[in-house]
Structure 1
Amino acid sequence: MLKKKILVVDDEPSISMLIEFNLKLVGFEVQCVEDGEAVFQAIQQFRPDLIVLDLMLPKMDGIQVCRKLRSQSNLVPIIMLTAMQDLSDKIAGLDNGADDYMTKPFSPQELISRIQAILRRIQTLPSAEESAPITIGHITILPDQREVTLKGRTIELTPKEFDLLLFLCRHRGKVLSRQQLLHGVWDYHFLGDTRIVDVHISHLRDKIETNARTPEYIVTIRNVGYKLTGPASKESLA
């Protein structure tokens, strides 16, 4: 079996070495680069399955790297590392396409768990029932192809946005708490920061709702969480 490839982007050699050492211990292939500009050449040559990306980098910071990758329709999963405690810095990473973030100092074991959770969700082969197309209103999801169309037009979602929409669709009509979504979509088996759910919900609404302020599909249940609604076609999953 081919080893999964992780690109580590950090200008602190001690951090890069720590991450590289621990990732290699559990069987990942790792490449490290020290600045934002080096990411793009590394992607072409190394073709990583996931990027661990520091926020503060020389030449091009992590936010700029995220933004440029997503503008190129590159959906490689990204975990952002930040030394900033300010929530706005973390949200900025998510707003520009990061799938997850961790605050320094961090546990290498927790980083490994998050990497494995993201890769596991992308790679898990669905059953025949789980592979069936799902249509809710004007939205159609093709789980096998990881594609989503809205009124027949393909919309681009990051891997985590796709997972979140699919999870909501498979639990259509059920109110899901933010913690349930963290467990179900991010595979976190610890108390995570639920703000990450709100940011991804906001991104989904921007892409699938006619008016994100008055959503037709993803409804906020105050003080609880979210529920996916909308008329389902005959082919929809229950």
Structure 2
Amino acid sequence: MTTGSGTVLVVDDEESIADVLAIALRYHRFDVMTAGTVREALTLAERTLPHARTGSRGGTPPIDCALLDVMLPDGDGRALGRQLRELQPDLAVVFLTARDSPAEIVGALGFGDDYITKPFNIDEVIARISAVLRRTRPADVLPQRPPLRYGDLELDETTYSVHRAGRSVELTPTEYALLRFLVRNGGRIVPKEQLLRHVWQYEHTPPESTVVETYISYLRRKLDALGPPVITTRRGVGYGLA
């Protein structure tokens, strides 16, 4: 297997979630392994990580980041993270959790490198994993990706930064994901339903949802402060770039 941005082990017992994460990670040039239980994850780890006693490796590259659901059918994701770290001390660990209480967050950050609450935005997951790997791996290990450009907009997919006319634009992960999808579609009008599927992972569009309109307004406010209006609206259809 050819290593791209690194190897990520996804451990989640909900197959649909694991599949979505794996597809998105592979799209962003990560190698991916998936498991649904603690037992399966440890079996994969024993094959790929340095062995705790002998230091030997299996036939595939070691895991760079473990993305672990906290609640697994045969154990606790945090305990699994500790076991994986025993095999590879420099392994990056990111937890997925449906709980967002301060105690849960502190507990996750007390051991792991980051945590992500469910339901999540897939682009935020990619951004967080990339950020964790930038902190834990040498800079020359991570590949550089050419920036996306449209007009005076420039999006750096390595650092997740945005510039307009050479000036930095501070965006949230969701705003970045929305703008990137519009840039990738050039001057084409993108239907609202397509934006909901690709940016928010909605399979079925809630008829009353205004999330797209809300985030378009956020983007306009930030981008239009640096130049002429860049986002166009086709009423009843969707949005595009001027």
* Greater Rg over alpha carbons, structure: 2
Normalising by structure 1, we get a TM-score of 0.48
Greater RCO (CA < 8 Å, at least 6 residues apart): 1
